[in-house]
Amino acid sequence: MPELPEVEAVRRSLEQLVVGKTIERVDVRLPRIVRTPSPEVFVQSLTGRRVEAVNRRGKYLLLTVSPFLLISHLRMEGQYRLTETDVDELPHTHVVFQFTDGTELRYRDVRQFGTMDLVRSPSEWPDGLARLGPEPFDPLLTPQLLKSRLASRTVPIKAAWLDQTVLAGVGNIYADEALFAAGIHPEKPAGKLTTLELSRLLHETREVLQKAVDAGGSSIRSYVNGYGRHGGFQISLAVYGRDGEPCVRCGTTLEKTRVAGRGTHWCPSCQRKPRTRRARAKTSREGEKDGRNSR
């Protein structure tokens, strides 16, 4: 958190709020937020530059400040907020971009996990960004392509769907929602999914992400966009955070488990748990025994 819909909402708000503004001064108060270059060079390089565009790749924000690209990863709780310079600051404000028009873009991060990198070319991109897989909405991304990429993967599909080298931007919330909508158990081995199942999962992933984008994202904890506004999709979540409640589809009590180290929400009825090899062998033996007894 934030995931693709939240980062996209931040991108859209910053596009409206800061594109065209000229940076007069930069104040880096927590040096480790800036990974490259040094905080001193970071400040010097951005001073006097104009923000030309705000884009997104996966969960990364990409601010074009020619000849540089400012790459910002919000991680768990990073936030941007545009304010007037005389507005009191909130705690945990670590980087401030002051513009020539008297406004400030403030970066706030309670957990301090967010990062910023200022680069000149793709060869300097941080490894996480350089290795990203296709965007969920990429028209070239097909179930057949996913099938070929996941064919040898034995990890649970939930783990594969969170792997940013497989699919960029999908995180814990929307992986749970998409798997539920597709009727696929989160622990099913990724390589065992059929092309039809992957087609359904890709479709539902796109559907849930688009709905979340339209709603401005989900405010589960502290997420707000550049205007300081919360998202609205959290009221539409079908399984995430609803363990112990009835399934919206069948009424079965939703459960929570851990998959790939992440809290995972699912419906035992709508998402049938895959049988293990041992369970299949036991069923086969019992069938053979019943067959002998009926002779």
- The number of CA neighbours under 13 Å toward the Cβ of 102 is 3
For the chain, 295 residues long, give each residue's pLDDT as a single digit of tens.
Answer: 699 999 999 999 999 999 999 999 999 999 999 999 999 999 999 999 999 999 999 999 999 999 999 999 999 999 999 999 989 999 999 999 999 999 999 999 999 999 999 999 999 999 999 999 999 999 999 999 999 999 999 999 999 999 999 999 999 999 999 999 999 999 999 999 999 999 999 999 999 999 999 999 997 767 888 888 888 899 999 999 999 999 999 999 999 999 999 999 999 999 999 876 654 444 445 445 554 554 4
CA dist 140 and 161 (Å) reads 17
Of 2, 39, 143, 186, which one is the catalytic site residue?
2
d(CA 159, CA 119): 31
Architecture of domain 4-130: Alpha-Beta Barrel (3.20)
Is residue 134 among the annotated active site residues? Answer: no
User: Has 35 been annotated as catalytic?
Assistant: no
Query: Is 2 a residue of the active site?
Result: yes
Percent helix, strand and coil across the chain, each rounded to 5?
Answer: 35, 25, 40
**Residue 282: what pLDDT?**
47
pLDDT for the residue numbered 226 = 85
Give the separation between CA 1 and CA 175, rounded to whole angstroms: 12
Name residue 223's amino acid.
Y
Say what the pLDDT of residue 275 is: 79
In the residue annotation, 21 being an active-site residue is answered as no
CA distance 102 to 85: 6
Residue 281 confidence (pLDDT) = 44
What per-residue confidence (pLDDT) applies to 276?
A: 65
Helices 143-150 and 195-214: crossing angle in degrees, nearest 10, is 110
Active-site residue, from 11, 49, 59, 242: 59
> What is the reported pLDDT for 284?
44
To 10 degrees, the CA torsion angle through 283, 287, 289, 291?
180
CATH code given to domain 143-278: 1.10.8.50
* pTM of the predicted model as reported, rounded to 2 decimal places: 0.91
Element (H, E) at 80: strand 78-84
CA distance 178 to 186: 10
The reported pLDDT for the residue numbered 267 is 98
Per-residue pLDDT, 292: 52
Report the alpha-carbon distance of residue 223 to residue 217 in Å, rounded. Answer: 9
State the pLDDT at residue 207: 98
From the list 24, 262, 273, 274, the catalytic residue is 262
The residue extents of the domains of the chain are 4-130, 143-278
- Contact status, residue 118 vs residue 49, Cβ threshold 8 Å: no
